[in-house]
Amino acid sequence: MFQLVSKASANARVDILSGLTVALALVPEAVAFAFVAGVHPLVGLYAAFMVGLITAVFGGRPGMISGATGALAVVMVALVAQHGVEYLFATVVLMGVLQVIAGALHLGKFIRLVPHPVMLGFVNGLAIVIFLAQLGQFKVEDITGNLEWMSGEPLYLMLGLVAVTMAIIKYLPKFTTLIPAPLAAIAVVSLAVIYGGLDTRTVGDMASIAGGLPEFHIPAVPFSLETFYIILPYAVILAAIGLIESLLTLTLVAELTETHGRASKECIAQGAANVATGFFGGMGGCAMIGQSMINVNSGGRGRLAGISAALFLLSFILFASSLIEQIPLAALVGVMFMVVVGTFEWSSLRILNKIPRTDAFVLILVSGVTVISDLAIAVIVGVIVSALVFAWKAAKRVDVTTKILPNGSKVYQLHGPLFFGSITSFKELFDPKNDPDDVVIDFVESRVWDHSGLEAIDALAERYLKAGKQLHLRHLSPDCQVLLEKAGDMVEINVIEDPLYGLAVDYPSEKELPISDHITPTKAADT
246 and 97 in a common domain: yes
Choose the weakest-confidence range: 32-46, 84-98, 311-325, 513-527: 513-527
Distances 281 to 10, 39, 461 between C-alpha atoms, Å? 35, 11, 65
User: Same structural domain for residues 126 and 250?
Assistant: yes
pLDDT of residue 109: 83
Q: What is the model's pLDDT at position 456?
A: 86
- Regarding whether 417 and 270 lie in a shared domain, the answer is no
Q: Any idea which of 278-282, 285-289, 481-485 has the lowest mean pLDDT?
A: 481-485
Same structural domain, 256 and 334:
yes
Please tell me whether residues 161 and 291 are part of one structural domain.
yes
Pairing of strands 410-418, 438-448: parallel
Residue 386 lies in a domain: no
Assess whether 319 and 440 both reside in one domain: no
Domain membership of residue 373 (yes or no) is no
Q: Does the structure show a pLDDT above 70 at 69?
A: yes
Q: What percent of the chain has pLDDT above 70?
A: 89
Q: Are residues 340 and 427 in the same domain?
A: no
Instruction: Report whether pLDDT(3) > 60.
Output: no
Q: Supply the pLDDT for residue 21.
A: 92
**pLDDT confidence bin for 165, thresholds 50/70/90:** very high
CATH number at residue 491: 3.30.750.24
Same domain, 160 and 296: yes
* Nearest-angstrom CA–CA distance, 435 and 421: 25
Instruction: Please state the pTM of the whole predicted model.
Output: 0.74
- Residue 441, SS3 per DSSP: strand
pLDDT, tens digit, 9 for 90 and up, residues 4-35? 444 444 488 899 999 999 999 899 888 888 88
Q: Is residue 369 part of a domain?
A: no
Last residue within a domain, chosen from 279, 314, 345: 345
The count of structural domains within the chain is: 2
The whole domain housing 475 covers 396-521
Assess if residue 160 is contained within a domain: yes
pLDDT, averaged across the chain: 85
**Which pLDDT score, from 0 to 100, does residue 484 have?**
65
pLDDT, residue 119, reads 87
pLDDT of residue 494: 43
For the cut 80, the answer to whether the pLDDT of residue 521 exceeds it is no
pLDDT value at position 193? 95
In a domain, 249, yes or no: yes
Write down the pLDDT at residue 488. Answer: 55
Residue-wise pLDDT for 446-475, tens only, equals 888 888 888 888 888 888 888 888 888 888
Residue 419 lies in a domain: yes
Q: In terms of domains, do 205 and 292 share one? A: yes
Q: Is the same domain home to 321 and 406?
A: no
| Element spanning 76, H or E | helix 70-83
SS3 category, 178: coil
pLDDT at position 83 over 90: yes
Give pLDDT, residue 516: 40
- Is the pLDDT at 311 greater than 50? The verdict is yes
pLDDT value at residue 505 = 37
Q: Give the DSSP letter string of 505-520.
A: S--S-TTTS-HHHHSE
Same domain, 401 and 325: no
Last residue of a domain, one of 311, 345, 379: 345
Residue 526, in any domain of the structure:
no
Q: Which of 276, 311, 345 is the C-terminal boundary of a domain?
A: 345
Write out pLDDT tens, residues 376-406: 788 889 999 999 998 888 888 888 899 998 8
* 6 domain residue, yes or no: no
- Write down the pLDDT at residue 479: 67
Q: Which residues contact 242 (CB under 8 A, 6 or more apart)?
A: 69, 72, 95, 99, 270, 274, 284, 285, 286
User: What are 413-430's pLDDT values in tens digits?
Assistant: 999 888 888 888 888 899
Residue-wise pLDDT for 332-384, tens only, equals: 899 889 888 988 889 899 989 889 999 999 999 999 998 887 777 888 899 99
pLDDT of 507:
35
Is residue 253 within 8 A of residue 292, CB to CB? The reply is yes
Both 325 and 459 in one domain: the answer is no
Task: Note the pLDDT of residue 11.
Answer: 81
What is the arithmetic mean of pLDDT over 166-184?
90
pLDDT of residue 303: 92
**456 contacts 427 by C-beta, under 8 angstroms:** yes
Spatial CB neighbours of 154, under 8 Å, sequence gap ≥ 6: 140, 199, 200
